[in-house]
Chain A
Amino acid sequence: MLKRSLLALTFALCTLGSASADKVITGAFDQGPGGAPGQFNPLTNTAGFTWLNKYYSTLVLYDPAFKKISGDLTSSWTVADGGKKYTFVLRNGVKWHDGEAFTSADVKFSLDLANNPDSGSAFASKFGNITKIQTPSARTVVITLSKPNAALLDALTNFMILPQHALSKIAPKDLRNGAWWRTNPIGTGPFKWNKLVPDQYVELVANPDYFRGKPKIDRLVNRYFKEQAAAVVALKSGDLDFSYLSLDDTKTFSGNAVKIISGPSQVANYLGFNNTSPLLKDVRVRQAILQAIDRDTIVKQLYGGGAEVANCPVTNSKYVPKGINAYAYNQEQARQLLKAAGWDNSRTVEVLTYYSDQLSKDVLVTIQQMLGQVGIKIAPRFVDVPTYNQTTGGNDFTMVYAGIGNGPDPDTLYPSLHSDFIPPNGTNRMKVNISALNKLFEQGQETTSTSARTKAYQEMCSLTNKQLPWDVLWSAKRFGGVSNKLSNFIWTPAPAGGRYDDKAYLWDTK
């Protein structure tokens, strides 16, 4: 009798113990270039979408290979009227974290908010063509555009839908830095906000009513590290289950505890030129610069083979036509071009960059050497982001070394290469002003036929390859490290993080 009750007690205590041990995954999800640590406003954020997507949802999402867009909050959609009318049918039975039903009113509210200049949203430029948003039923949204925008779906993959019932009472101006985003935000994602310990970590708990199913783990924690080296040590010591890793970091891992994930960064590194500067106006100089650099050796020696030489700003190979100029490494030809252009060997050109990692430093020093061999003297100058922004916003610079985030849709490059977006109106900091290029971007956005779009962007690639407003160099891989204690974990590098379906509700710990 005593033995039996003792056994029962023991069993009870055991289950008590296992029930209280909840499953946690701790990661440094905002580490690295795609992260935005401590920034929680999805309207004004331009990065950090990996984390935001854990508790907010978007209408549509890419797959992890960035080949296809599927619905997340939508179950289906149709495009009509030559690409000017989008009808979205929303998924049924989706609830906000506070139990309220998700409806079309929330979608209209979110889009209107983005277009309201007071909210300071970066999405306003992408949704600027929207003239009308109708909600004929709780599950239908009809968006009418003034001109077709074939890249609308791509833009929507990053756009988090927000709750009207919670946010409509707050003035858009106060929302920008509002406390709502970091005290009690409500979303429709697989996890719910639990708490933020400022500058340390954010904790989410599982959303049992998530429309795809209750997550397998109980808690998801995002830890912040000011120093990448500290994140690497934490990953190695087991305090972290996942972190972004630089190429050099990956080389320091051995053994089976951590699996290294790699993927295309979708960022094209380039040498940019102030297109209004007289110094580099002659295209022969820009050609010479490209031909003086032995890109294959840099890719092999500095990137360890983890980069692909690129010859135009688009990284998606679908839009790169065959037969564009590869500007093969040929220093003799470079010298001849420079001579023909009358390049003055004595002048030094400053190259500005906001990159501060060791790899970029090594790359720039190597480029400096190679250019020096043909008679071009450059002086790399490493600055921080605000300095870079201010300097390239004006005219007081000649050359930069930067990266442009691509995506599966080349329309992402529009604001960086179209003359409408020359600062202060946008991010065409190199002040590229080629009317044929402008037209190709406009065409690409307004054409709905897939084949016509592909052709337009292929022409854009050829044009930039010929006229060289930028000297595009390569596109590198980026890396992450995940503990082998996790299963079903999906992560791939993406310029701002997020926008692909990583099925976080299936992540599990062994």
Chain B
Amino acid sequence: MGLYTLRRLLVSIPLLLVISAVVFTLLQFTPGDPLDAYIPPDQVLSAQQREILKIDLGLDQSKPVQYFKWLGRAVQGDLGYRIKNGQPVLAELGRRLPPTLLLMGLGMTVGVVLGIFFGIIAAVKRYTLLDNTLTFLAFLGISTPAFLAGLLGMYVFALKLGWFPAGGYQTPGQGGVLDILRHLILPAIILSVTYIAILMRYTRSSVLEVLFQDYVRTASAKGVRSYRVIAKHVLRNALIPVVTVIGANIANLIGGAVFLESIFSWPGTGQLYLDAIDSRDYPMIMGTTLILAIIILLANLITDLLYGLIDPRIRFS
């Protein structure tokens, strides 16, 4: 397994290089450059000022030179500065990390726990009214666009019922733990809905597959209580595909949820990324893509390793 890990890590390096090169190239083909984004359509900038800005932002050099300059600094840990406000890219990401982890962490945890729980119930009580209701709700959850769910949730719970504030990370001037929690609950719950729905479906089908295996029938024939059959024998085997799904979504912990962040004015990395693309903020886009790519590759590796730990049938070659 050690060798396998080493090999995967080594392969990641050229992979990251390719990713960064592809993203950089795609950016060059996008219409508009940072200068065009920097200046609103009706602002007058003299040709001289444009030149100064261009040189300042490093946009006057050829594309390969710009890329290699960026690469050279990136491997040393310097991801450059945001064009929009001159702040270091890493610092900007770092600043957005706590709110993102809070939102995604709570949302995904609730989503995973409830999703697995409902999935098991739906599988055990399959084809009953409960199962059909849960399945229907799951489809609703998966099909509802995040944007709509967010606005609807805000309208009902923040406006009509007044239970939660209408967006924002904190009340200006406050910002204590309880204040942030109050702002966190609504977006986190709406976020969790998608995860509940997805995981419920996966868990249900996975449990159903395992439920009719011989060893399960043997266990209940031996007189093991049904709750223990589920918890010990069924779950451990049924969770294998579920771990894969969770692993595939781990990167979202860092990447954030763009739509919900926009609606709830939640200062997360999703919104940051979108903002960077809107303003053609090359250093920010490249830096964020690199970090996200690293996280995703690592998450995939860890998931695969965990997979091997959970399922002894899997051998690493």
Contact = CB atoms under 8 A, between A and B. Distances in A.
Interface of A: 24, 26, 38, 46-47, 117-118, 120, 122, 124-125, 173, 176-179, 182, 197-201, 203, 219, 221, 223-227, 229-230, 233-234, 236-237, 239, 354, 383-393, 402, 404-405, 415-416, 421, 424-427, 429
B218 to A, nearest CB: 56
B31 interface: yes
B98 to A, nearest CB: 12
B43 interface: yes
A230 B169 CA distance: 13
B42 interface: yes
Contacts of A38: 84-85
Nearest to A429: B41
Return the 9 tightest CB-CB contacts between A and B, nearest first.
A386-B32, A177-B86, A389-B36, A386-B37, A386-B36, A387-B31, A46-B43, A234-B166, A199-B267
B168 interface: yes
A203 B49 contact: no
A198 B82 CA distance: 14
A490 to B, nearest CB: 22
B166 A384 contact: no
B59 to A, nearest CB: 13
Given A386-B36, A387-B32, A226 B46 contact: no
Contacts of B50: 424
Contact of A233 (B86, B166, B262): B166
Contacts of B265: 200, 223-227, 230
A226 B39 CA distance: 19
Nearest to B52: A117
**Max chain B Cβ within 10 angstroms of own Cβ: one of A26, A173, A201:** A201
Interface in B172-208: 172-173, 175
Contact of A230 (B37, B41, B46, B154): B154
Nearest to A22: B173
Interface of B: 31-34, 36-37, 39-50, 52-53, 56, 84-86, 95-96, 151, 154-155, 158-159, 162, 165-170, 172-173, 175, 261-265, 267, 271-272, 275, 278-280
A10 B51 CA distance: 68
Given A385-B32, A386-B32, A389-B39, 5 more contacts: A117-B48, A198-B95, A230-B262, A233-B158, A421-B44
5 contacts: A227-B262, A234-B168, A386-B36, A427-B42, A427-B44
B159 A389 contact: no
B56 A405 contact: no
Contacts of A424: 47, 50
A118 B48 CA distance: 9
A46 B42 CA distance: 8
Contacts of B261: 226
Contacts of B31: 383, 386-387, 390-391
Contact of B42 (A178, A198, A227, A404): A404
B36 A385 contact: yes
B278 A227 contact: no
Given A124-B49, A221-B172, A230 B56 contact: no
A331 B162 CA distance: 53
A391 B46 CA distance: 18
